Structure 1
Amino acid sequence: MTTQDPSVFDEIIERRGTDSAKWDRMEKVYGVPTDTGLPMWVADTDFRAPQVVIDRLQKAVSHGIFGYADNSDEFNAAIQWWMKNRHGWEVEADWIFTTTGIVNAVGMCLDAFTAPGDGIVLFTPVYHAFAKVINAAGRRVVELPMIEENGRHKMDFAAYDALLDGSEKMVILCSPHNPGGTVWTREELCQLGDFAKRHDLLLVSDEIHHDLVYPGEKHLPMPVADPSVIDRLLMLTAPSKTFNVAGLHTGNVIIQDETLRDTFAARMRAINLSGNSLGNFALAAAYSPKGAEWVDAQMAYLDENRKIFDETINSIPGLKSMPLQATYLSWVDYADTGMNAEEFYRRVEQDAQIAVNHGDTFGTGGKNCARFNIGTQRARIEEACTRLKKAFADLQ
């Protein structure tokens, strides 16, 4: 039972004019007016970070000296405590590498373990930054389309073997999945492990959303679900989505296998990559009992947002939202409206003045879908619902 006051999540915090990508760029990207629009695209929330994080950062700022810092013992201990107590995963300090966020971590894994031209497997639709980084690195995106079954995404391993040609070197998993919020079961993760072993693929498991799991669901870290893949496994974690500190660009690559770890460490040394002190301070403060209490309260709050948003979406003929098991990113299918993308987004962006991610940017399987960020104050969720009902009123 949490003692965190849920009203902290109701507080409307003005983000316009703060160099917020989510708020200050929606007009440039989507034509949604900054002064009247609702941004439901960029994957950060509109909640303040927990007070324990703010206090730690204020202490550092008040000191006024931002020289080279080393809180690695505290930093590593916090990660170890969090993974053990929140996820049942025992981590050793020397397995942990710090990167400037998860996308950077993906890039580092590509750089350290693959070569230009190698195939990199993605289960689509999936977080669009993966394909961008793969393409920018001169690697080749190999899309394995997922199916929808019982209101969730599902990896279709029966079909996947025939889609590979042997040039693939790595597979990237998003766990829990973005978009759609699927929490993978132990059986599914073991099937993935078998697939990776069958095709001799390194497995990158991006678990950035692992704390954002709704009541009744349970996230399993990949090494807990299937220890047999440890010799090919690269785990990616970060506090950024959980605590709304993405701008501090602190992420981790956690590697249990010594051979993989040595290879990655050599590449880290070669480019002299390290984290930033404020991000490290924030993580150490967040991964704590007070941080855990805050996360539990946030998930209870997001659970109500989820219910309100889903009820509205599913009441509009032709629209349906995938039931979220995790994340604050709702995946909405508009195929049954009969509308093309231009018409659907005209209604959402011009009529309702809501900025959302277009589904086709998530790869194969994203057509006729859109991603809505519900990580905001309840009043804004209710306002978004009112606007969407009005924008699609002729369907009622």
Structure 2
Amino acid sequence: MVLFDFDTVIERKNTASVKWEQVKQVFGEEDVLPMWVADMDFNPPYEVAEAIKKRVEHEILGYAFVPDSTAEAIQAWLKKRHNWDIHPAWIAYCTGIVPAISTAIQAFTEPGDKVLLMSPVYHPFFHMVEKNGRVVVNAQLKLVENRFEIDWEQVEARLKEGAKLFLGCNPHNPGGRVWTKDELMKMADLCAQYNCLFLSDEIHSDLVYPPHTHVPVASLGDKYRDMTITCIAPTKTFNLAGIKASAVIIPNPELRKKFKDVQAVNGTSALNTFGIVGMEAAYRHGSEWLDALLVYLKENIDTAARFIAERLPEIRVMETEGTYLMWLDCRTYGLEEEALKDRLWKKAKLGVEIGSKFGPGGEGFIRMNIACPRKILMEGLNRLEKAFA
């Protein structure tokens, strides 16, 4: 059995790291411990780094196209990890999930159209809808026994109002929910009933902990497949955010043409050389590394949950079914947002995301990234305790 090292602390400063080198701009303090941006503090799989190094050794970095072998690697990965059979022709490439969402909004809606979200949710969803001149309609998630559930009455009301596109997040960021097959089918059925397309952001799909299982909504049958746009990427799974590469899976040829037509206008369809090489290497060779990573991340989640239960029982920890982002309910302290920031950022020097950033329903929560060596995790937890001492 190959052993993987997730405990070594790797110096990330002087690499233009957003997470580590922009804390002063974001938190107003220089010596903040960053547990915010959703990337990990681990090396990617050895085979991925070696594939990129080998490509660099050639030295000439001319124009590149995405070879058929990359689509074949994606196809094999989705079949193996998620039991989803896709055709390589369904794949469009994009320079990231957020650009893909923006492209989809432009392709499938018109200015002034309504786009459905379920907050609290990944904040660029709001930005992409609004910056493209569309209107956010929100069906806020319900917190039931410390777990997010869908408010079906609100969802149907928003769809009746004429929402043209639903932006779904599965697994859910920031809440860590992995939506069940029944929930996904019910959501897709409602979208179909009201003629609303389903865009599923599945960037965290590989980061799911047993007994939970990720189900691609487009894998549930032809009816769902033809109304769904699925966004995936190796960047979260393998800590490769800097390669700027994603795959957008659109089985419906008419929808795929619309998407690619907008890409042609915006010039966003080309991947950079290292995005191509890194994506293929990750999906071909990253499975064993990922299995070991998931064990380590789950241990981090359990460690954090135990620490908070013992030392900070006022904080409620939502179960993290997927992702490496913990969603912590700090409302018991009764702090206004500025006071919460002051305690975390200035007093404790802990860089975590404030929940209101993720829209209605996030007030009084914080999001903490635990994808780091355990030494850093424990330092972060001790700072969290200091914030509320």
Shorter-chain TM-score bucket reads over 0.9
Question: For 1:97-176, what aligned pairs fall within 5 Å after superposition?
Answer: 97-164=92-159, 166-176=161-171
What is the identity, as a one-letter code, of the residue corresponding to 1:291? G
Q: Is the 8 A contact 1:176 1:327 kept in 2?
A: yes
Q: 1:279 aligns with which of 247, 272, 275?
A: 275
Checking the alignment, whether the CA contact within 8 Å between 1:181 and 1:325 is kept in structure 2 is yes
Q: Does 1:319 align with 2:318?
A: no
Asked if residue 178 in structure 1 is aligned to residue 178 in structure 2, the reply is no
Which of 83, 88, 112 aligns to 1:88? It is 83
Displacement after TM superposition at 1:369 (Å) = 0.6
Shift of 1:226: 4.9
CA distance in 1, matches of 2:67, 2:150: 38
How far apart are 1:121 and its partner, in Å?
0.4
**Cα distance in 1 for residues equivalent to 2:313 and 2:180:** 31
* Alpha-carbon distance in 2 for matches of 1:159, 1:28: 38
CA drift of 1:93 comes to: 0.8
| Amino acid across the alignment from 2:292 | A
Aligned equivalent of 2:216: 221
Matching residue of 2:17: 20
Aligned residue in 1 for 2:358: 362
d(CA) in 2 for partners of 1:363 and 1:170?
Answer: 18
Could you list the per-position Cα deviations for residues 326-355 of structure 1 after superposition, in whole angstroms to 9, with x for gaps in the alignment? 001111111112222222222211122111
Alpha-carbon separation, structure 1, partners of 2:69 and 2:145: 43
Aligned length in residues: 387
TM-score (normalizing by structure 1): 0.95
In the alignment, residue 281 of structure 2 is paired with which amino acid? A
**C-alpha separation between the residues in 1 aligned to 2:211 and 2:29?**
36
Q: Deviations over 1:65-104 (max 9, x none)?
A: 1012234211101100100001100111110000000001
Report if the CA contact (8 A) 1:189-1:226 is conserved.
no
**How much does 1:161 deviate?**
2.1
- Contact 1:166/1:199 (8 A) holds in 2: no
Correspondence for 1:383: 379
* Aligned mates of 1:389, 1:105 — CA distance in 2: 39
Match of 1:57 in 2: 52
SS in 2 for 1:236: strand
- Amino acid in the other structure paired with 2:289: W
Q: Which amino acid counterpart does residue 26 of structure 1 have in structure 2?
A: V
Gaps of at least 5 residues in structure 1 are none
- Report the Cα distance in structure 1 between the residues aligned to 2:104 and 2:291, rounded to whole angstroms: 31
Residues 190-217 of structure 1: CA deviation (Å, up to 9, x unaligned): 1101110122101100000000011321
Alpha-carbon distance in structure 2 between the residues aligned to 1:390 and 1:233: 45
Partner of residue 39 from structure 1, selected from 34, 39, 42? 34
CA distance in 1, matches of 2:54, 2:153: 54
Aligned-partner Cα distance in 1 for 2:327–2:212:
18
CA distance in 1, matches of 2:154, 2:125: 22
**Which stretch shifts more, 85-94 or 156-165?**
156-165
Once the 2 structures are TM-superposed, how far is the Cα of residue 165 of structure 1 from its aligned partner? 5.1
**2:3 — aligned with what?**
5
SS at match of 1:16: coil
Equivalences for residues 74-85 of structure 1 within 5 A? 74-85=69-80
Q: Is the 8 A contact 1:312 1:389 kept in 2?
A: no
Match of 2:333 in 1: 337
CA distance in 2, matches of 1:83, 1:380: 33
Flag the 1:94–1:183 CA change in 2: closer, same or farther, 3 A.
same
CA distance in 2, matches of 1:312, 1:25: 28
Partners of 2:219 and 2:225 within 8 A in 1: no
Q: Report the secondary structure of 1:264's partner residue.
A: helix
Secondary structure, in 3 states, of the residue corresponding to 1:241?
Answer: coil
Q: Write the distance in 1 (CA, Å) between the matches of 2:104 and 2:190.
A: 19
For the residue of structure 1 that corresponds to 2:304, the secondary structure is: helix
Q: Deviations over 1:169-224 (max 9, x none)?
A: 10010000000110011110011011101221011000000000113211111122
User: Distance in 2 between the 1:158 and 1:143 partners?
Assistant: 12
Q: 1:322 to 1:226 in 2, by over 3 A?
A: farther
Question: What secondary structure is seen at the aligned counterpart in 2 of 1:124?
Answer: coil
Which residue does 2:345 correspond to in 1? 349
Contact residue 66 and residue 271 of structure 2 kept, 8 A: no
Contact 1:240 1:246 in 2 (8 A): yes
2:299 aligned with 1:301, yes or no? Answer: no
State the SS of the aligned residue for 1:161: helix
Name the Cα RMSD after superposition: 1.4
Q: What is the aligned counterpart of 2:206 among 207, 211, 226? A: 211
Note if contact 1:193-1:226 (Cα within 8 Å) is conserved in structure 2. Answer: no
Q: Measure the CA separation in 2 of the matches of 1:178 and 1:213.
A: 12
Query: In structure 2, what is the Cα distance between the partners aligned to 1:209 and 1:155?
Result: 19
2:367 aligned with 1:371: yes
Give a deviation string over 1:216-266, Cα, whole Å, max 9, x none: 211111122354222211110000100011111101110111221222232
